[in-house]
């Protein structure tokens, strides 16, 4: 799998005489203490460079000064910090990501970033350094394993990034769990980026099994076991594919290390359609290649479990992923078929391209029946309708609990993975009633993401539940400060933060 190419370290605030120096500048071109000292040493070169440019010190602005006078460094990069009162952990991460991208585009091979003590930020300099490094690490990700002829000019140049801070041991301590989260993010990005001829139910289950090396208990159920459980909604989706479905159950038992030992587990459930043609209700050919990442929800749950195990999270968590390929063939499910789900409810399948909810219906029921979770959150690239509603900036959040919805929203804001709550109500639920069975798998043309969530809710009992429709946020066509274009792993950091704030604190 792919990994970051930059080596990140922390040391005391002694400026190196080689490589690139990155110096912070506050909004209004106000140099930090280190910047002011360097400005004197260079005869005012930093001030003149700012005055001759449009650089104002606004957040994430960058200005390179090549071969600065009286210094042996190859360049100084001025980094806009913005308003120090607004400089929090999330902003430090964005600064790290933006700086990493700038250094690579400039061809720098080594760089040192001075993290000065500032008045105003709520985060101390050690925490600022750790989060800056985390953002740089997240941005350094590349999925390039299939590129055989890439020129050296297109490859990342930066090999070492050193954070200079007053208390390096504190920064290292704060960075360690963040690096664990990054490992989970990278695993999700890898899985989502792989083509469907490489990642299919059997191989994705095999990837999940690797988590046992970190202490995660992993079980893989095949078709025989699922038939015995009555998971006919799930199995119906995969009956047209040569690749058999797999159901993976992962358990991380970390609560004994924390303050909340003995509570029921927190459950996360992921839709894992490794390729979605739409089945007999086949999709248009244009853009169908994107359906390799219709297993994004499962990828997030697997990556989350890796993140939790990597940082030794003090919470009991179960992760369940339904893995299946939705293909058209002589054995494929037909529009109009009726299946009996694990819950006993019958489902009229009017559209075989509304398949993810069929998988989740059985996995949600299994989760409640076996684990009796305290909270249950599912993630799925479920509907195109959510992209029409929210674009690519927010995931859709549906929940039967105001408290859970508020906590997930807060966690998303803290890590810059935004969600927007959408409605659930009896009026929408009636749109999936049908004369032929207990429920049909699609409504009419209106409120498509809502009726999909209403369908899922029919398989949720008395448990706090949330559904995240991540169809618009799983893949990005443009670079963002901490997220290179491609697979985003949206949801790993959000759910990790939710657990840390509400179950480990």
Q: What is the DSSP string of 478-494?
A: S-BTTB-SEE--TTHHH
- What pLDDT does residue 68 have? 84
- What pLDDT does residue 2 have? 54
Q: In 3-state terms, what secondary structure has residue 162?
A: strand
Q: Which of 327, 241, 238 is nearest to 279 (CA)?
A: 327
The widest CA-to-CA distance across the chain, in whole angstroms, is 83
**Catalytic one among 59, 357, 493, 497?**
357
Q: 159 is written with which tokens?
A: 């090999």
For residue 386, what is the enclosing H or E element? Answer: helix 385-390
- What pLDDT does residue 260 have? 57
Q: In 3-state terms, what secondary structure has residue 467?
A: strand
- What pLDDT does residue 263 have? 78
- What pLDDT does residue 138 have? 98
**Catalytic one among 109, 209, 283, 480?**
283
Contacts of 28 (CB under 8 A, 6+ apart): 56, 57
For the entire predicted model, the pTM comes to: 0.96
- What pLDDT does residue 67 have? 82
Q: 313 is written with which tokens?
A: 């999270």
Q: Which of 113, 126, 212 is nearest to 169 (CA)?
A: 126
- What pLDDT does residue 257 have? 57
- Per the annotation, the verdict on 283 as an active-site residue is yes
- Per the annotation, the verdict on 306 as an active-site residue is no
Cβ burial of 122 (10 Å; 0-12, 13-18, 19+) is exposed
Domains and CATH numbers, the chain: 7-165 (3.40.220.10), 182-502 (3.40.630.10)
Output the tens digit of pLDDT for each of the chain's 505 residues. Answer: 455 679 999 999 999 999 999 999 999 999 999 999 999 999 999 999 999 999 999 999 999 999 888 899 999 999 999 999 999 999 999 999 999 999 999 999 999 999 999 988 878 999 999 999 999 999 999 999 998 887 777 789 999 999 999 999 999 999 999 999 999 999 999 999 999 999 999 999 999 999 999 999 999 999 999 999 999 999 999 999 999 999 999 999 998 755 555 679 999 999 999 999 999 999 999 999 999 999 999 999 999 999 999 999 999 999 999 999 999 999 999 999 999 999 999 999 999 999 999 999 999 999 999 999 999 999 999 999 999 999 999 999 999 999 999 999 999 999 999 999 999 999 999 999 999 999 999 999 899 999 999 999 999 999 999 999 999 999 999 999 999 999 999 999 999 999 999 999 7
- What pLDDT does residue 95 have? 98
DSSP 3-state helix, strand, coil percentages of the chain (rounded to 5)?
A: 40, 20, 40
The rounded Cα 385 to chain-centroid distance in angstroms is: 21
The pair phi, psi for residue 95, each rounded to 5°, is -60, -40
| CA 62/CA 58 separation, integer angstroms | 9
**E strands, 130-240, in order:** 160-164, 217-221
| CA 414/CA 89 separation, integer angstroms | 8
Query: What digits encode the pLDDT tens for the residues 145-164?
Result: 998 887 777 789 999 999 99
- How many CB atoms within 10 Å of residue 257? 12
| CA 47/CA 406 separation, integer angstroms | 45
């Amino acid at each position: 799998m792919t990994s970051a190419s930059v080596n990140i370290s922390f040391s005391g605030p002694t400026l190196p005489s080689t490589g690139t120096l990155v110096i912070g500048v506050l909004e209004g071109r106000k140099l930090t203490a280190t910047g002011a000292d360097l400005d004197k040493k260079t005869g005012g070169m930093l001030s003149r460079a700012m005055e001759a440019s449009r650089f104002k010190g606004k957040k994430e602005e960058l200005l390179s000064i090549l071969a600065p006078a009286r210094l042996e460094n190859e360049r100084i990069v001025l980094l806009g910090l913005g308003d120090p009162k607004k400089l929090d952990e999330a902003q430090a991460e964005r600064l790290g990501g933006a700086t990493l991208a700038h250094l690579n585009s400039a061809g720098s091979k080594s760089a040192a970033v001075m993290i000065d003590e500032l008045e105003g930020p709520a985060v101390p300099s050690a925490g600022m350094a750790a989060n800056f490094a985390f953002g740089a690490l997240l941005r350094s990700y590349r999925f390039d394993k299939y590129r055989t002829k890439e020129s050296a000019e297109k490859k990342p140049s930066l090999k070492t990034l050193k954070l200079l801070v007053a208390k390096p041991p504190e920064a290292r301590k704060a960075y360690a769990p963040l690096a664990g989260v990054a490992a989970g993010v990278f695993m999700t990005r890898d899985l989502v980026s792989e083509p469907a001829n490489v990642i299919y139910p059997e191989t994705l289950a095999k990837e999940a099994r690797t988590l046992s090396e970190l202490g995660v208990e992993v079980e893989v159920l095949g078709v025989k076991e699922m038939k015995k459980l009555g998971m006919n909604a799930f199995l119906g989706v995969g009956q047209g594919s040569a690749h058999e479905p797999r159901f993976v159950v992962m358990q991380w038992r970390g609560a004994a290390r924390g303050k909340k030992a003995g509570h029921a587990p927190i459950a996360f459930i992921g839709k894992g359609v490794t390729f979605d043609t739409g089945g007999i209700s086949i999709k248009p050919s244009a853009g169908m290649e994107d359906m390799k990442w219709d297993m994004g929800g499962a990828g997030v749950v697997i990556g989350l479990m890796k993140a939790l195990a990597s940082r030794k999270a003090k919470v009991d968590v179960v992760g369940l992923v339904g893995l299946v390929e939705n293909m058209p063939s002589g054995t494929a499910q037909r529009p109009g078929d009726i299946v009996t789900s694990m819950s006993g409810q019958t489902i009229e399948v009017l559209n075989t391209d509304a398949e993810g909810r069929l998988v989740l219906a059985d996995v949600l029921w299994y989760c409640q029946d076996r684990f009796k979770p305290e909270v249950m959150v599912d993630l799925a690239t479920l509907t195109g309708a959510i992209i029409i509603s929210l674009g690519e900036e927010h995931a859709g959040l549906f929940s039967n609990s105001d408290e859970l919805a508020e906590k997930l929203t807060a966690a998303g804001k803290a890590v810059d993975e935004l969600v927007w709550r959408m409605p659930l109500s009896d009026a929408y639920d009636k749109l999936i009633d049908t004369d032929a069975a207990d429920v049909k798998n699609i409504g009419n043309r209106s409120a498509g993401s809502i009726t999909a969530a209403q369908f899922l809710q029919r398989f949720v009992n008395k448990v706090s539940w949330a559904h995240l429709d991540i169809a618009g946020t799983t893949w990005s066509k443009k670079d963002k400060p901490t997220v290179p274009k491609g697979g985003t792993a949206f949801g790993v950091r959000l759910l990790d933060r939710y657990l840390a704030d509400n179950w480990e604190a």
